[in-house]
Amino acid sequence: MSEPGDSRRNSIELIGAKAGTAMPAEMRQALHLRGLVPTSIENFSKQELRAYQQLMSKSTNLEKYQFLAALRCLNVNLFFRLLLNHFRDIVPLIYTPTVGEACLCYSHIYPFLYPFRTSVGLFITLDDTDCIDTVIENYRRSMPEPIDPEIT
């Protein structure tokens, strides 16, 4: 059952996940988001520059990994644009060797990797053997809608 404000909260999550501050004013108006999100409308180049500067300001690869993990959940379009345009810098942060370090430190960084209530994978244990179909269906339902190519 949805709670009051769920629709608006979902709209705010949508603006972040798909466009961030690149969301057009008309779409913000249609979603009743005036006053709930930053008013500036930026192109992806400006967002990318700011995100890259923030990424490079982190002092360790693990901190950079955490930043990128959060960015992937908060603004997937920006995450992939950053990845494509800075591929050589970013791949070692989201693949080996940094992911190995993140796995070793997972119990310390997990609560701070992603926004609350964000599914980023499956957690399956031996206790789930009898209900694996339910686990997979829950994950499928948690996945976001496909990205709207008009926003990019």
How far apart are the C-alpha atoms of 87 and 36, rounded to whole Å?
A: 33
Read off the pLDDT of residues 83-132 as tens digits, 9 standing for 90 and up: 999 999 999 999 988 988 988 888 778 766 665 555 566 778 899 999 99
Q: Which residue has better confidence, 135 or 147?
A: 135
Q: Is residue 50 part of a domain?
A: yes
The CATH code of the domain that includes 90 is 1.20.1370.30
How far apart are the C-alpha atoms of 45 and 81, rounded to whole Å?
A: 9
Q: Is residue 69 part of a domain?
A: yes
Q: Is residue 93 part of a domain?
A: yes
Q: Tell me, what's the pLDDT at 112?
A: 66
The position carrying tokens 């190519």 is 149
User: What single letter denotes the amino acid at residue 147?
Assistant: I
Question: Of 65-69, 86-90, 143-147, which gets the smallest average pLDDT?
Answer: 143-147
Mean of pLDDT over the chain? 80
pTM greater than the 0.75 cutoff: no
- For 20-50, letters b (16+ CB in 10 Å) and e give bbbbeeebbeebebeeebeeeebebeebbee
Please report, rounded to a whole number, the percentage of residues in the chain having pLDDT higher than 90.
30
Q: Tell me, what's the pLDDT at 14?
A: 55
Q: Is residue 9 part of a domain?
A: no
pLDDT grade, residue 2 (50/70/90)? very low
> What is the rounded average pLDDT of the residues 34-62?
91
Q: Is residue 104 part of a domain?
A: yes
**Domain boundaries, position 94:** 43-116
> What is the rounded average pLDDT of the residues 56-60?
97
pLDDT grade, residue 36 (50/70/90)? confident
Q: Tell me, what's the pLDDT at 152?
A: 46
Q: Which residue has better confidence, 33 or 13?
A: 33
55: Cβ–Cβ under 8 A, 6 or more apart, which residues? 64, 67, 68, 82, 90
How far apart are the C-alpha atoms of 149 and 122, rounded to whole Å?
A: 27
Q: What are phi and psi of 140, to 5 degrees?
A: -55, -45
